Amino acid sequence: MFTTGFKFFFGIGVALSTAAVLYGYTTGGNHVGPLSLGWKGGVGEHLGYGLLVALGLSAIGIALTLISYRDADPADQARFRGVDDIAPTAPVTGSHWPIVGAFGVGTMAVGLVLNTAVFITGVVICAAVAFEWMMDAWADRATGDPQANRALRNRIMAPLEIPAAGTAAVALGVLALSRILLNVSKLGAVVVAGLLAVAILGVAILATSGRRPNRNIVAGLVLSLGVGILGFGVWATVDGERDFEEHEYGEDEGQSEESLGVVDTSTDGDIYGE
């Protein structure tokens, strides 16, 4: 009934827990303290008591883990389930969500320190990754056929993923572009905008040519974009925007504040003149 690993670690756990109680009593604990983990009364010498309790509970935790896996003994697992043999499970397929999740956590970490918007972006990425990862894990064992599992997963997730990914890509692109345009010089902004127009034209030509893009190139571009956005987010936040020239109305252009519709509210706060 009980596995060898469980008995080994459970025995150690019980021995250490007993030692903790005895140590508590012999170092000045009262009659209830060492038994109640100090909730009612003293436990004697704190450090040694705490150490023994921690190790004892850890050993019991390992014992419970081991018995929940039946010591990883397939014969024992089969006996426990009342079957002849344990069927092999399919290998876990590759997934890009772990690396996206890692970037998400990195984004959260940087955002936590530097910028709330970046932090929220990280949270959103992590939430999306958790959902996707969960769906992948479910789909992996939906049926015995990996291809059918993949088709099933895509049928459910694609209607959600494609609009969400498109929205995110546009939002990130716009955000990154706005940061670049605010940071570079006036001439640089013109050059960047020109390059962007050429890039959009290039993508459009590729898309209409009917050739399927190489998966590795797409992955490389996505990774580069992720690194670029994360790096640029940090850099742009630290570096800030370029200096903008302050225009003083009504001097150079000969325009008055009244002609621009600017209302002085500093006199009496009554903008309607009543």
Partner 1 sequence: MTMIDSPPATAQATAVSSPAAAGLYDFLATTDHKRIGRIWLTAGVFALIGAVVLGVLLGLERLDSGGLDIFAGENPHFQIWALYRFGLALLVVAPLFIGLATVIVPMQVGSTNIAFPRAALAAAWGFLIGAGILVVAVAAGGGWGAVDRATPRELDSIALTLVGMGLVVVSILLASLCLATTVVSLRVKGMTLLRTPLFAWSMLVTSAVWLLTLPILLANLAIAYVDLRGGPGTFTGGVDGSTAIFTQLEWLVEQPQVYSFAIPALGILGSIVAVSAGVRPSRHGLSLGLIGFFGLLSIGGWSQPFFQFDPGANVAYDEKFVFIAFGLLAIVPVLASFAPVADSLARGRDNLGGSPPAHLLGALAGALLLSVGAAAGVARVIEPFRLGGRITVSGVMNLVLLGAVVSAVAGIWFWSAKIGGRTLSPLMGRLAILDLVGGALLLGGAQAISGFLETSDDPRVPVVEDAADILSIVSLVGAVLVALGALGVLAAIVSALRSGRTTEADPWGGHTLEWATATPPPAGNFAEAPGLVMSEAPLLDAREQTSAEGEDS
Measured from the CB atom, the residue of 130 and 169 that comes closer to partner 1 is: 130
C-beta of 21 vs 110, nearer to partner 1: 110
Residue number with CB closer to partner 1 (161 or 181): 161
Query: Nearest approach, Cβ of 273 to partner 1 (angstroms)?
Result: 45
Shortest separation between residue 134's beta carbon and partner 1, angstroms: 5
**Smallest gap, in angstroms, from Cβ of residue 171 to partner 1?**
22
Q: How far is CA 63 from the centre of its chain?
A: 32
Under the rule (CB under 8 A), what is the footprint of partner 1? 4-5, 8, 47-48, 50-51, 54-55, 58, 62, 65-66, 69, 71-75, 86, 88-99, 101-103, 105-106, 109-110, 112-114, 130, 133-134, 136-137, 140-141, 215-216, 218-220, 223, 234, 238
CB 110 within 8 A of CB 230: yes
Q: Which is nearer to partner 1, 239 or 258 (CB)?
A: 239
As measured in angstroms, the least distance from the Cβ of 115 to partner 1 is: 10
Question: 228 Cβ partners below 8 Å, 6+ apart?
Answer: 176
Distance CA 81, CA 101 (A): 36
For residue 202, the minimal CB distance to partner 1 (Å) is: 21
Q: Which is nearer to partner 1, 54 or 170 (CB)?
A: 54
